[in-house]
Homo-oligomer: A and B are copies of this chain.
Amino acid sequence: MAASPTYGELTDKGASTNIAWHEASVDRAERAKARGHRSAILWFTGLSGSGKSTLANAVNAALFKRGLATYVLDGDNIRHGLCKDLGFSDADREENIRRIGEVAKLFLDSGVIVLTAFVSPFRADRDKARALVENGDFLEIHCDAALDVCESRDPKGLYAKARAGQIKEFTGISSPYEAPENAELRIDTGGQELQQSVEIVISTLQDRGVIPAA
């Protein structure tokens, strides 16, 4: 620990001066100007195994290479941290998505392009996250792969457990996935090369003026 510096005594002058302290906040527009790009929430949604986290991380890496400020929120950094108190009841799932939406909003405000990669199966919960921010700041990206493709991948063995009844209310097996009806993007993560999917997301960000052309 560094030693604390020595400070002056309390003085009347100090106290009265301090009343004049004012907020020197930096707003989102200033950050965007300094960074050379707008911020946005890229909300990836889809079945387990549909490639949300893979695609989000690949887009993230591509944007990072271009010098842009980005961050991925996914199970790895949320489930054992901010949301570790939550289980899988309906109320807890809803609260999980609510918190992710609020954290994404903070990153948006900080000038970062934030990519969230969660199943987020319910339309109402996704719409609530969308409603937290301005129109145009939230891009819903449906990672659309057929259930049998996702189940054949089963990278974490979750489908096998769900089929064996060891996981209750597993999305696609014993709990519904409500596909987006008006997503900004639908990506064929069942059949398409990853690089092609990345390019579609990037070009959409360019077309919408979030990031400059390469």
A residues at B contact (CB < 8 Å): 1-2, 4-5, 7-11, 14-15, 17-19, 21-26, 30-31, 34, 51, 53-54, 57-58, 60-61, 64, 67, 69-73, 77, 81-82, 85, 95, 99, 102-103, 105-107, 109-110, 112, 132, 144-146, 149, 152-153, 182-194, 200, 204, 207-208
A57, B15: Cβ atoms under 8 Å?
Answer: no
Q: Which residues of B contact A183 (CB under 8 A)?
A: 4
A54, B193: Cβ atoms under 8 Å?
Answer: no
Closest residue of chain B to A81 (Cβ to Cβ) is: B102
Q: Which residues of B contact A193 (CB under 8 A)?
A: 14, 17
A194 to B193, CA, bound (A): 55
A184, B9: Cβ atoms under 8 Å?
Answer: no
